[in-house]
Amino acid sequence: MRTGVVLLAAGLCLLNVTSSLKICAFNIQSYGEAKANNQKVMGILIKILSRCDLCLIQEVRDSKGAAIQTLVKDLNSRLDKSNPYSYLESERLGRKSYKEQYVYIYRSNVLKVKEVYQYPKLDEGTNETDVFSREPFIVRFHSPTTLVKDFVLIGQHTSPKTAMKEIDKLYTVFTGMYKKWKTDNVMILGDLNAGCSYVTIKGWRAVRLRSDPRFLWLIGDDQDTTVRKKTHCAYDRIVVHGREIISSVVPGSAQPFNFKEDFHLTEEEALEVSDHFPVEVDLKPNHRYLLRHEL
């Protein structure tokens, strides 16, 4: 028995410290051909995204689709070939001529896509136009290397003017996905515009995603997910629901990633990349699985 414990401890010491799974959400602010053709910006984006095993990118504004292909190609060409990235992109979404896409970039050697669902423009219950400016893009992942094996990501970028209505509506999205896929291990993430002038204390009380204690908001109201020094707003959020996924969160790992400070950039240089910082969280590894497959 003692020998087994010693071997387990020795094995764990040999495991890479990054064996936890890092999930990120990043509003790259009008990511398209201009940024894809800017080598300096792309170099910074690669450094940011390579920290993540799974990242929801928002504000992809390229109708040709070439900018994301360039990003993933560059990401894979500069990194360890044994950890390749794949991607999933949503429809081009928006009520008028302004359109955006959601894109999930993920390490295909550690994550498998089980199901994909684009939330419809018409509310399935009433057949009326829903409140979302850009309907959620929803993916169910299988993750054998983490304690929680299956989880659902609901990606959302709200419109500032209707942020509170959209955040509240995400509760309806959650309940619908629970019925559809029979799992309550869900992470809602993205630029929810959930801060500063776009939300009110009184309004929060009516937001079901906020008032229901089963939902854990990992990025606090006092956090700053904005690049500009003159702003301090928790626009970008990560919200989790479900016993397994909540217990799998690495304590203290949920935070904005201040790439301006970390990469020693001026505010002007950072703003060339985005006016948002990514938000991120780590999920605990399944050490027994990793030992079986790495030792």
Q: pLDDT tens digit string along 12-22?
A: 444 444 589 99
| pLDDT band with cut points at 50, 70 and 90 for residue 76 | very high
| pLDDT band with cut points at 50, 70 and 90 for residue 130 | confident
Catalytic site residue from 89, 91, 128, 157: 157
| pLDDT band with cut points at 50, 70 and 90 for residue 125 | low
**Residue with the larger pLDDT of the pair 183 and 2:** 183
Q: What pLDDT shows up at residue 293?
A: 65
Q: What pLDDT shows up at residue 63?
A: 84
Give yes or no for a contact between 100 and 59, defined as CB atoms under 8 angstroms apart.
yes
Give yes or no for a contact between 223 and 277, defined as CB atoms under 8 angstroms apart.
no
Per-residue pLDDT tens for 144-154? 999 999 999 99
Q: Is the pLDDT of residue 8 over 50?
A: no
Task: Read off the DSSP letter of residue 184.
Answer: -
Helices (H), the chain: 2-14, 33-36, 39-49, 66-77, 163-181, 201-204, 208-211, 243-248, 259-262, 267-273, 287-294
Count other Cβ atoms within 10 Å, centred on residue 129: 10
CB-count exposure of residue 29 (10 Å: 0-12, 13-18, 19+): middle
Q: Which amino acid is at 129?
A: T
Residue 160 φ/ψ, nearest 5 degrees: -55, -40
Give me the CATH code for the 17-294 domain, please.
3.60.10.10
Nearest CA among 88, 63, 206, 109 for reference residue 155: 88
Residues near 26 by beta carbon (within 8 Å), at least 6 away in sequence: 48, 49, 55, 56, 57, 58, 274, 276, 278, 279
**CA 203 centroid distance within chain:** 25
CA 116 to CA 78: how far, in whole Å?
28
Catalytic site residue from 33, 59, 89, 100: 100
| pLDDT band with cut points at 50, 70 and 90 for residue 256 | very high
Q: Is the pLDDT of residue 182 over 90?
A: yes
Nearest CA among 23, 50, 28 for reference residue 38: 28
Whether the pTM exceeds 0.85: the reply is: yes
Where do we find the tokens 């956090």? 223
Per-residue pLDDT tens for 211-243? 999 999 999 999 999 999 999 999 999 999 999
Active site residue 267: no
Helix then strand count (H, E) for the chain reads: 11, 12
Q: What is the mean pLDDT of residues 152-180?
A: 97
Q: Is the pLDDT of residue 6 over 80?
A: no
| pLDDT band with cut points at 50, 70 and 90 for residue 7 | very low
Active site residue 157: yes
Rounded to a whole number, what is the largest CA-CA distance in the chain? 66
Average pLDDT, the chain: 90
